[in-house]
Amino acid sequence: MSSIIATNPKLLTACARWAGAGVIGIDTEFVRERTYYPCPGLIQIADSNGVRLVDPLAVTSFAPLAALLTDASVIKVMHACDEDLEMLELVTGVQSVAVFDTQLAAAFTGHGASLSYGGLVEALLGVKVEKDETRSNWRQRPLSPDQLRYAMLDVTYLLPLHDQLSRALADSGRTSWFEEELQHRARTREEDARMDVAYRRVQGRGALGPPDHAVLRALSEWRETEARALDIPRRHLVTDQVLVSLASVGSPDAETIRKIRGLSTKMAGRYSATLVECIETARAASPDKRDQYRNLRRYADTIKRLKQIVRQTAGTTNLPVERLASRRALEALLVSVLNRDEIPPSFQGWRFDVVTRDLVRCLTASPPHSAERPPA
């Protein structure tokens, strides 16, 4: 029987079988070089009977796959799955449930923050997986034998990995931590997809004052909307550097917009009027709480103490520093204390007893204050 599923009836039959499997492995291949959204190339699914490859360019009805992805009784094993989940949602229109991310599970069981699929297979199963088709064009047809072999290998070992990692999580008492983290990541993905938080992705926004931050939020939302509508990468529309420069413009007009460094003549001609209107509207509104930026350079010593606590905790718990708290997360915690806000959600749950309590104790025992000098 061919391993490729290229018709609706075959997908329906396969999904009926997978629905009774209890656990399946999933991976996807896609192309995303000149588009905003990933362009589906292949969907690989493994169960105890082997691997099948779903051709999303040939199948036209993904309702059976959508039903499978939303079936909580079937565990979907993936590795570093954020982009795979995005592509599956694009194809099926649904958000997957009962996901088991082997990279995340590996982090909770002492294998580092971001071990690759091949690295994890070799570490746990003693098998070396070739990765020679990573940059293939997965939209070409027919797919080459090497591409098909590579695609099948990418899911072949997911179920054995799930078996070992599930036992390791249970033995270490960290299954609940892992499940909480999966839920937190799902909420984060959903929040990050909102237009009104697009400004958080912009590099270099720290130098802007509150009124300029309000403008940056408006410009970022415009860029996200337009990039989605045109299906092009946001950087191909307007770069982060240009957005920050635009946000600094006090009294915008078409001529000022055209002089922004990095903004092409074509884009300036097409969007100058829109950008002027966007900037003027944002400046007319009052900055809100999101725009009250704090220059955290003056709290460098406090951040250093927090990072030391995280490093010590990582050593005693055999957890990656990145999994406990990134620098950005520590800065968010510091700001919450300075503003007397609630502790950020990322520091709730399993992290609270593991590291948050010590971090908060550090901040309250030696409160951060603006007298701290910025680093030289």
- pLDDT digit string (tens) for 255-283? 999 999 999 999 999 999 999 999 999 99
Instruction: Say what the alpha-carbon torsion angle 53, 57, 60, 66 is, to the nearest 10 degrees.
Output: 50
More confident residue, 85 or 373: 85
Average pLDDT of 32-56?
Answer: 97
Least confident residue range of 126-135, 227-236, 253-262, 345-354: 126-135
Least confident residue range of 1-15, 118-132, 314-328, 359-373: 359-373
Average pLDDT of 110-134?
Answer: 90
Structural domain that includes position 210: 195-291
* Same-domain pairing of 10 and 23: yes
* Same-domain pairing of 156 and 209: no
- Whether pLDDT at 296 is above 90: no
Rg from Cα positions in the chain:
24
- pLDDT given for residue 2 in this prediction: 59
Crossing angle of helices 265-284 and 210-230, rounded to 10°: 130
- pLDDT digit string (tens) for 131-166? 766 678 999 999 999 999 999 999 999 999 999 999
- pLDDT given for residue 360 in this prediction: 95
* Same-domain pairing of 64 and 152: yes
Instruction: Say what the alpha-carbon torsion angle 174, 177, 181, 184 is, to the nearest 10 degrees.
Output: 170
| Separation CA 292–CA 162 (nearest Å) | 44
Starting at the edge strand found earlier in the chain, the sheet holding 50-54 runs 4-5, 50-54, 39-47, 23-31, 75-78, 99-101
Average pLDDT of 205-212?
Answer: 84
Domains held by the chain: number: 3
CATH code, domain with 47: 3.30.420.10
Q: Which of 173, 193, 175, 196 is nearest to 185 (CA)?
A: 193
Instruction: Answer whether residue 241 is part of any domain.
Output: yes
Instruction: Answer whether residue 107 is part of any domain.
Output: yes
Domain boundary residue, one of 141, 173, 192: 192
